[in-house]
Amino acid sequence: MAEQASVNRIAVLVSGGGSNLQSIIDKVHESDIAAEICCVISNRKEVYALERARKANISAVVVESRIYAERSLFEQALLGELKKQQPDIIVMAGFMRVLSAEFIAHYSGRILNIHPSLLPDFTGLHTHQRALAAGRKRHGCSVHFASAELDGGPLIMRAEVAVLDTDNEETLALRVLQQEHEIYPLCIQWLCEGKIKLRNNEVFYCNEKLLEPLTWQNEIDCK
């Protein structure tokens, strides 16, 4: 990763609407994050995240996973695109593919993911529905270093929201997404600044090993 002096180049991997991408674009634009988004790469065509990139004059690329018979061929194509772009950091933002250990190894300690649950609970899909079905009173989102394990990898930060009796999947998802848009840019900024590091698969914050993931304090109160 580039030292403090040079600006970090961030590649954002997307698959859908790109609301997390937008929050990162906005924070970079407000120069809260000392970095530039060198490219947005989607594994699917015609997703709104690509439109968001174009509107922000960011290179929007499609490496369509469905045309590759095997994951290894898709990853080869993705690595080829990344080789051109030379990112310092890779940010998976609503990216719906599981990347192999071989791929991750190319960017160990420099590839982040965000997941809409309080990991390690509820890895995988339909997290809000599952949290409601389980009767959870707390739910939220997690930022972690990506690994080959689905929604696995060393945890950096989590943000919690209260689950309301009146919540359904949509209302809960919306409040969690608002928290995602807070913690993801912050974790990216801290990675760029060297405030968080991955060493021997453990997360260090300000050079102290994290025994527990950080918790985002500004939970949006349930009025």
CB of 208 to ligand GRF, least distance (A): 27
- Could you tell me the smallest distance in angstroms from the CB atom of residue 153 to ligand GRF? 14
**Element holding 198 (H helix, E strand):** strand 196-199
Contact 147, 119 (CB under 8 A): no
- By beta-carbon proximity to ligand GRF, the closer residue of 7 and 121 is 121
Minimum CB separation of residue 75 from ligand GRF in Å reads: 19
Shortest spacing between CB 25 and ligand GRF, in angstroms: 11
Among positions 18, 153, 154, 185, the unique one binding ligand GRF when judged by CB under 6 A: 18
Q: Is 181 a catalytic residue?
A: no
159 near ligand GRF, judged by CB under 6 A: no
Of 201, 218, 221, 217, give the one whose Cα is nearest residue 209: 201
Choose the binding region for ligand GRF from 24-32, 109-117, 131-139, 214-222 (rule: CB under 6 A).
Answer: 109-117
Distance CA(111)–CA(98), nearest Å, equals 13
Exactly one of 29, 106, 115, 139 is catalytic; name it.
115
Binding of residue 129 to ligand GRF (CB under 6 A):
no
Residue 185 lies near ligand GRF (rule: CB under 6 A):
no
The interface region with ligand GRF, picked from 63-71, 83-91, 111-119, 132-140 by CB under 6 A, is 111-119
Distance CA 173, CA 182 (A): 14
CB-based contacts of 127, cutoff 8 Å, min separation 6 = 115, 116, 117, 139
Q: Does 152 bind ligand GRF (CB under 6 A)?
A: no
Q: Residue 164: CB partners within 8 Å, gap ≥ 6? A: 171, 172, 222
Out of 116, 140, 153, 185, the only residue in the binding site for ligand GRF (CB under 6 A) is 116
Q: Footprint of ligand GRF on residues 20-49 (CB under 6 A)?
A: 20-21, 49
**Closest listed residue to residue 15, CA positions, set 172, 157, 125, 149:** 125
Q: By the 8 A CB rule, do 36 and 53 touch? A: no
- If binding is defined by CB under 6 A, does position 19 make contact with ligand GRF? yes
Taking CB under 6 A as the criterion, the residue among 1, 7, 17, 98 binding ligand GRF is 17
Which of 108, 197, 122, 194 has its CA nearest to residue 156? 197
215's enclosing H/E stretch is strand 214-215
Instruction: Point out the residues that are catalytic.
Output: 115
| Residues of the shown chain interacting with ligand GRF in the complex, contacts defined by CB under 6 A | 16-21, 49, 93-94, 114-116, 177, 180
